[in-house]
Amino acid sequence: MTEADSQVLRTTDEDGGRHDHVRRIPDIISQVKDSYAELRPAERRVADVVLDDVKYAVDASNAALAQRAGVSEPTVTRFCRAIGCDGVRDFKLKLAQSLVVGALYLATKPQPTNSD
């Protein structure tokens, strides 16, 4: 997991000590890639559509995603479960989060360093 795949929550305890708590954000795109070899051929077609156009996969209906992949709607659901999601809704939520995290990471401007 990369630095972009986590969020840091900084807290201060009663004694003034500061603590960083890292919360991992699930990287669903990596899960799709990592699971690819274990997927059934029809599920791989869904994975191909998702990996080729993530934004489309987020916005498309289950029926449209199935049609583009050339599979049935239940196959899309099986694909989502095969990669560790509870279903299509959970998958799309994680996929949308992945897009937002990626956009934030790319939009972050490098901070200048003082090299006096």
The domain locations on the chain are 20-103
Q: What does the alpha-carbon distance between residue 1 and residue 23 come to, in Å, rounded to a whole number?
A: 12
* Cα–Cα distance measured from residue 22 to residue 48, given in angstroms and rounded to the nearest whole number: 31
Amino acid at 116: D
Q: Is the pLDDT of residue 40 over 50?
A: yes
Which one, of 24, 31, 21, 19, lies nearest residue 2 by Cα? 24
pLDDT tens profile 90-115? 999 999 998 876 555 555 556 666 66
Per-residue pLDDT at 22: 56
* pLDDT higher than 60, residue 51: yes
Contacts of 91 by beta carbon, 8 Å cutoff, 6+ apart: 28, 80, 83, 85
pLDDT in tens, 69-78: 999 999 999 9
Q: What pLDDT, on the 0 to 100 scale, is given for residue 94? A: 94
Fold of 20-103: Arc Repressor Mutant, subunit A (1.10.10)
